[in-house]
Amino acid sequence: MLSSEKEKALVTGASSGIGREIARVLGAQGCNLVITARRRGELEALAEELTEKHGIDVKVVVSDLSEQIGVENVIRETGDIDILVNNAGFGFLGKHISLNQEGQLNMIDLNIRALTHLARHYGATMKKQGSGRILNVASIAAFQPGPNMAVYCATKAYVLSYTRALHSELKKSGVTVTALCPGFVETGFQEVAGMKLGTLELSGAVSADKVAKTAVKAMRKGRREVIPGWLNKPIPYANRMVPVSLKLAVVKRLMS
């Protein structure tokens, strides 16, 4: 832990959804926070709420993390931390060829490049400190290829694979690395992705608040990965037993 008595955490994508709820959980645990995203109004409202409720310091950093300059800005404004929550991310529903080129490359920049940049940077400083926690937000989509969400699922497969490897490399250094793999969660994600959750998806959906509590608990235990929601937990095991052709057909239908 850093020298002040309070832990300090950086939460990316804290202006809505899962990131905002994770910031609320960490704030309630007494962590000082740096919260970042592009929407200043949402971040400032959250900072005010958490400062009043918990008497913690909350710093707002407005940055576009799909740009390298935005990531560097967050690092410069944040300083050393005890906890990194790499949560900012988005996806698009639709056929790869018909979706916008720039938007999909932007997704790779945010979901993969920024996440890796921050984990590499803070992984190194935490290793020097001899302690720290990194929580990378992947998805249940990380466990199989995703026709009609090809790039998004591939970015999340990267996040899961990368997190597992980093968890192993940093074992015994005092730094833990955890992948959060949620299934459907009703957040701003669906509007950005251009999708609507149907009755089937909603029946298995877990609230952002529940996902956040599960995630922080797993991160604090230093678990390698966590899947919130009992309906989602068997998915990786089922995936191992099913041929790729069947997985592709099922996901294609689900994502249509």
Between residues 86 and 176, which has the closer beta carbon with respect to ligand NAP? 86
Between residues 39 and 128, which has the closer beta carbon with respect to ligand NAP? 39
Please tell me whether residue 187 binds ligand NAP under the rule CB under 6 A. Answer: yes
Q: What single DSSP character describes residue 142?
A: G
Torsion sign, CA atoms 54, 135, 230, 198: positive
- Smallest CA-to-CA distance from 64 within 118, 117, 12 is with 12
Please tell me whether residue 213 binds ligand NAP under the rule CB under 6 A. Answer: no
* Binders in 13-32 for ligand NAP, by CB under 6 A: 13-19
Please tell me whether residue 210 binds ligand NAP under the rule CB under 6 A. Answer: no
Map residues 46-75 to x or -, x wherever contact with ligand NAP holds by CB under 6 A. ------------------xxx---------
Q: Token match 């466990």: residue?
A: 143
* Binders in 122-181 for ligand NAP, by CB under 6 A: 137, 139
Which residue in the list 152, 158, 162, 237 is annotated as catalytic? 152
**Environment class of residue 77 by beta-carbon count within 10 Å: exposed (0-12), middle (13-18) or buried (19+)?**
middle
Tokens of 35: 């919260």
Q: Least Å distance between CB 242 and ligand NAP? A: 20
What b/e sequence results for 138-159 when a residue is b if at least 16 CB atoms lie within 10 Å of its CB, and e otherwise? bbbbbbbebbbbbbbbbbbbbb
- Enumerate binding residues for ligand NAP (CB under 6 A): 13-19, 37-39, 64-66, 87-91, 110, 137, 139, 182, 184-185, 187-189, 192
Catalytic sites, residue numbers? 152
